Structure 1
Amino acid sequence: MMGNNLPSANEVINLYRSNNIRRMRLYDPNQAALQALRNSGIELILGVPNSDLQGLATNADTARQWVQRNVLNFWPSVRIKYIAVGNEVSPVGGSSWYAQYVLPAVQNVYQAIRAQGLHDQIKVSTAIDMTLIGNSYPPSQGSFRGDVRSYLDPIIGYLLYASAPLLVNVYPYFSYSGNPRDISLPYALFTSPNVVVRDGQYGYQNLFDAMLDSVHAAIDNTRIGYVEVVVSESGWPSDGGFGATYDNARVYLDNLVRRAGRGSPRRPSKPTETYIFAMFDENQKSPEIEKHFGLFKPSKEKKYPFGFGAQRDAKIVVDEFNATYPLKSDM
Structure 2
Amino acid sequence: MQNMNSALSAAGLSNIKVSVSVSQKGVLAGYPPSNGMFSPEATSYMTPIAKYLASTGAPLMANVYPYFAYVGNLRAQIDDINYALFTSPGTVVPDGSKAYQNQFDAIVDTFYSALESAGAGSVPIVVSESGWPSAGGTAASASNAQTYNQNLIKHVGQGTPKRAGRIEIYIFAMFNEYDKKGADTEKHFGLFNPDQSPAYTINF
Same fold (TM over 0.5): yes
Measured after TM superposition, the shift of residue 230 of structure 1 is 0.5
Measured after TM superposition, the shift of residue 245 of structure 1 is 1.1
1:197 aligns with 2:93: yes
The equivalent position to 2:57 in structure 1, one of 163, 169, 184, is 163
Which string of whole-angstrom CA distances, capped at 9 and with x for unpartnered residues, describes residues 166-210 of structure 1?
A: 001010000000118821100000000101111111111000000
1:123 aligns with 2:17: yes
Cα 1:160–1:292, aligned 2, differ >3 Å: closer, same or farther?
same
Which string of whole-angstrom CA distances, capped at 9 and with x for unpartnered residues, describes residues 85-132 of structure 1?
A: xxxxxxxxxxxxxxxxxxxxx111111111122222x11011110120
TM-score, normalised via structure 1 length: 0.59
Larger-Rg structure: 1
- The higher-RCO structure (CA 8 Å, 6+ apart) is 1
Aligned equivalent of 1:243? 139
Measured after TM superposition, the shift of residue 283 of structure 1 is 1.1
TM-score, normalised via structure 2 length: 0.94
1:215 aligns with 2:111: yes
The equivalent position to 1:178 in structure 2, one of 68, 72, 78, is 72
Aligned-partner residue type, residue 160 of structure 1: A
Aligned-partner residue type, residue 169 of structure 2: T
Aligned equivalent of 1:140? 34
- Secondary structure at the residue paired with 2:203? coil
Cα 1:155–1:180, aligned 2, differ >3 Å: closer, same or farther?
closer
Alignment of 1:1-331 (within 5 A): 106-120=1-15, 122-130=16-24, 131-135=26-30, 137-179=31-73, 182=76, 183=78, 184-268=80-164, 270-287=165-182, 288-308=184-204
Q: CA RMSD in A?
A: 1.3
Aligned-partner residue type, residue 253 of structure 1: N
Measured after TM superposition, the shift of residue 300 of structure 1 is 1.6
Q: Distance in 2 between matches of 1:188 and 1:140?
A: 19
- Secondary structure at the residue paired with 1:160? helix
Aligned-partner residue type, residue 198 of structure 2: K
Consecutive unaligned residues of structure 1, counting only runs of 5 or more, are 1-105, 309-331
Measured after TM superposition, the shift of residue 303 of structure 1 is 2.0
Which string of whole-angstrom CA distances, capped at 9 and with x for unpartnered residues, describes residues 112-157 of structure 1?
A: 111122222x11011110120122x210000111222111111111
Q: Distance in 2 between matches of 1:299 and 1:215?
A: 37
Q: Distance in 2 between matches of 1:180 and 1:238?
A: 21
- Secondary structure at the residue paired with 1:203? strand
Cα 1:181–1:218, aligned 2, differ >3 Å: closer, same or farther?
closer
Consecutive unaligned residues of structure 2, counting only runs of 5 or more, are none
Cα 1:153–1:180, aligned 2, differ >3 Å: closer, same or farther?
closer
Measured after TM superposition, the shift of residue 262 of structure 1 is 2.0
Aligned equivalent of 1:62? none
How many percent of aligned residue pairs carry the same amino acid? 49
- Secondary structure at the residue paired with 1:261? helix
Measured after TM superposition, the shift of residue 261 of structure 1 is 1.5
